[in-house]
Amino acid sequence: MGQPVASRGRPATPTLGKAMLNKYARAFFTRVLTPFAAFLIRRGVSPDTVTLIGTAGVVAGALVFYPMGEFFWGTVVITLFVFSDLVDGNMARQLGRSSRWGAFLDSTLDRVADGAIFGGFILWYAGGGDDLVLCAVSIFCLASGQVVSYTKARGESIGLPVAVNGLVERAERLVISLVAAGFAGMHKFGVPGIQYLLPVALWIVAVGSLVTLIQRVVTVRRESAEAEAAAAAPENASHGSEAAK
């Protein structure tokens, strides 16, 4: 959620499927939501307000429904508010207000939303779900997701490109978890065996996040060594020139 800004982008090498999904699905929903975004602008609503409301809706959907085991309805509520990501961005473009503040707010509230979603899973498995193993897996998903994001941000803050996306990034974590949760919730409508989708999804996210974390740490280690070697090269050359005199 949040306003797009030029400095917000990061290098990526999307697959054909991801590129097509982004090109067509996002473009479709952008066209559909543009009139609504224009309506909000006319009513004096700011993109930041939409970002905050969208995050509040996601948090409420996750922390109200998921701890009760209402995964279907919780996912429906979360999905509805996730569309604020397109609405506030659309509003920012119409207003010409792309900014560093918008990118910062967007990124910060994304972490809040992620924490609420996996926090909802944790509360369920620690309570009514009565499964301490899956509770621990959910905790790992929450923590590893935050650390994966941190490694990218921290590496870039010290001047490294961190030129790797990794196996499971935020979009994949959320899509896998939310789709599985939504289908798992259909167990209450009489669909047999489908409740096992969520545990499987959480294990996939946990393993994928661990692999991604390792990929990013290894990349930062390599890029750091390369940067230090490049910085030392001119100094070594200078010393060699002086020794030759």
Q: Does the annotation place 50 within a ligand binding site? A: yes
**Catalytic residue set:** 110
Q: Does the annotation place 30 within a ligand binding site? A: no
Query: For residues 219 and 156, what is the distance between their CA atoms, to the nearest angstrom?
Result: 12
Q: Does the annotation place 114 within a ligand binding site? A: no
Q: Does the annotation place 96 within a ligand binding site? A: no
Residue indicated by tokens 């259909």: 186
Q: Does the annotation place 17 within a ligand binding site? A: no
10 Å Cβ neighbour count for 39? 10
Q: Does the annotation place 8 within a ligand binding site? A: no
Name the nearest CA neighbour of 87 among 130, 38, 135, 129: 38
Q: Does the annotation place 49 within a ligand binding site? A: yes
DSSP 27-86: HHHHHHHHHHHHHHHHTT--HHHHHHHHHHHHHHIIIIIGGGT-HHHHHHHHHHHHTHHH
CB 34 within 8 A of CB 91: no
Q: Does the annotation place 151 within a ligand binding site? A: no
Q: Does the annotation place 51 within a ligand binding site? A: yes
Query: For residues 66 and 31, what is the distance between their CA atoms, to the nearest angstrom?
Result: 32
Binding-site residues from annotation for a CDP-1,2-diacyl-sn-glycerol: 48-51, 89, 93, 99
Binding-site residues from annotation for Mg(2+): 85, 88, 106, 110
Binding-site residues from annotation: 48-51, 85, 88-89, 93, 99, 106, 110
